[in-house]
Chains A and B, each alone.
Chain A
């Protein structure tokens, strides 16, 4: 049996079809709640936790915007067991971050149904609202993206999305598939046993084949991978010293928004807001005296390097750090570059699998001999 079911929708009725499928999950008691991006009265799209089937009318999971990474939201819903089953409709980057949080015991997948929507990328919040004013709809975005372009009116999806090699989530129970779909259709894929059961509850049979999907996904991933390699090389070439890094970060005002927005910044309390970094005046003066000058606020490069060591193994490249920065510091490539080199060293990939141990949580006697070069 194939795992795909194709669903057709009339113009402007994509979300209506999705609402029907999702409300069935609540009606059939497959789940007790669904967290899914929904349109708010102001036109904003935010993750919303729905328990009443009627309220699914506002769902809009494919809207090209993600004001926060829902991995953190999923963590607050699941970290302590509520005893209720929850469906989580999330993007690939959010799911990958969630998997890292599960490994850190800050979230759990025990009572969840993971529903992943194909992702062509997201706009910055303000760009999304501006485009909406000019008539952008989720469906017009999908149509353009399926045709190979995400740029509209001179605005494009964020840089992080243009170099994201995971438009399809690897770990999900159900996938809502758009890549390679014919116009006016999407397909629902059962990606696990749990997902198969839930799809039956939605009233779908799972009888179609995947069509052109596999090829379309392959082409898109290859293009994104090339784009990443190019961006990575450009970044490495340009920002290859502490001085260059400092220049890149010079607009940083120590607001730590990037840390708050980061779905995998896992410390319960960040050391940079503790007494360790609350210095007395004479201390600052002492440092200034040393060189005759001290840029303030201090410790910005120190902060970003520390964050690189903390999340280097987990960064999923969601770009929320850049979106959260009030001063347009380009953080995405700094963190993705750190993630690339540290994950490559350990053969790890963030969010790839629940069964892979995070690199710094395990160690072996007979490994990494090259670090010391000493053998007894």
Chain B
């Protein structure tokens, strides 16, 4: 049997983390192809529904990437994201999707190497955890 390859849905802020991914690319820093990147204007616009839907549809992990506090293009979208992530984490945790599968990380536009690091770290972690418990159950309604 082939090795389990996690599917990670990544919501990256246009101004910092997505640019970091771009930088990683142009700098030829390879990172695991398990991340499916969705470019959003701000980490603060990631509606909890996006995250819930991703997990219900079989994502093994969700990563939200935003600017460091103080650097948000929209002043404080990332701080709103952090509160929302804390809130949603509590709810998902109850049903078996813990903090180890749902990450928020600050990655600045210049931090291509950090993006590579986080992508590797998360992929490894979820590989060790195994597939999402939802995937092994029946298709969630």
- The answer on a CB contact under 8 Å between B139 and A293 is yes
Chain B CB within 8 A of A267 CB: no
CB distance from B8 to the nearest CB of A (A): 16
- The answer on a CB contact under 8 Å between A342 and B82 is no
Chain A CB within 8 A of B25 CB: no
Interfacial chain B residues near A301, Cβ < 8 Å: 56, 140-141
Chain A CB within 8 A of B80 CB: yes
Chain A CB within 8 A of B94 CB: yes
Chain B CB within 8 A of A341 CB: yes
CB distance from A314 to the nearest CB of B (A): 12
Chain A CB within 8 A of B73 CB: no
Q: Which of A293, A295, A342 contacts B91 (CB 8 A)?
A: A342
Interface mask (B111-141 → A, CB under 8 Å = 1, otherwise 0): 0000000000000000000000110011111
- The answer on a CB contact under 8 Å between A313 and B87 is yes
- The answer on a CB contact under 8 Å between A236 and B83 is no
Q: Which of A300, A346, A360, A363 has the most CB of B within 10 A?
A: A363
Chain A CB within 8 A of B39 CB: no
Q: Please judge, given known A-B contacts A295-B141, A363-B79, A372-B105, whether A305 and B91 are in contact too, CB under 8 Å.
A: yes
Interfacial chain B residues near A271, Cβ < 8 Å: 49
Chain B CB within 8 A of A365 CB: yes
Among the 9-residue stretches A9-17, A104-112, A220-228, A239-247, the one with 4 or more Cβ atoms under 8 Å from chain B is A239-247
Using CB atoms, name the residue of chain B closest to A235.
Answer: B94
Q: Which of A243, A300, A305, A367 contacts B52 (CB 8 A)?
A: A305
Interface mask (B67-95 → A, CB under 8 Å = 1, otherwise 0): 01110000010011011111111110111
Interface size on B, residues (CB 8 A): 38
- The answer on a CB contact under 8 Å between A242 and B56 is yes
Chain B CB within 8 A of A214 CB: no
Q: Please judge, given known A-B contacts A236-B94, A240-B96, A242-B96, whether A302 and B87 are in contact too, CB under 8 Å.
A: no
Interfacial chain A residues near B52, Cβ < 8 Å: 302, 305-306, 309
CB distance from B79 to the nearest CB of A (A): 4
Q: Please judge, given known A-B contacts A242-B56, A242-B95, whether A363 and B87 are in contact too, CB under 8 Å.
A: no
| B contact face: mostly helix, strand, loop, or mixed | helix
Query: In whole angstroms, how far apart are the Cα atoms of A345 and B96 in the complex?
Result: 18
- The answer on a CB contact under 8 Å between A242 and B83 is no
Chain B CB within 8 A of A376 CB: yes
- In the complex, which residues 40-80 of chain B have their Cβ closer than 8 Å to any Cβ of chain A? 48-49, 52-53, 55-56, 68-70, 76, 79-80
Q: Which of A250, A290, A367 contacts B139 (CB 8 A)?
A: A290
Query: In whole angstroms, how far apart are the Cα atoms of A337 and B94 in the complex?
Result: 9
Query: In whole angstroms, how far apart are the Cα atoms of A111 and B47 in the complex?
Result: 36
Can you pick out 20 interface pairs between chain A and chain B where the beta carbons lie within 8 Å of each other? A239-B95, A240-B95, A241-B137, A242-B97, A242-B133, A243-B134, A246-B138, A246-B141, A299-B141, A300-B141, A301-B56, A302-B53, A302-B141, A305-B91, A309-B48, A341-B93, A342-B90, A360-B87, A363-B80, A376-B69
Interfacial chain B residues near A359, Cβ < 8 Å: 83, 87
Q: Which of B70, B93, B139 contacts A291 (CB 8 A)?
A: B139
Interfacial chain B residues near A342, Cβ < 8 Å: 87, 90-91
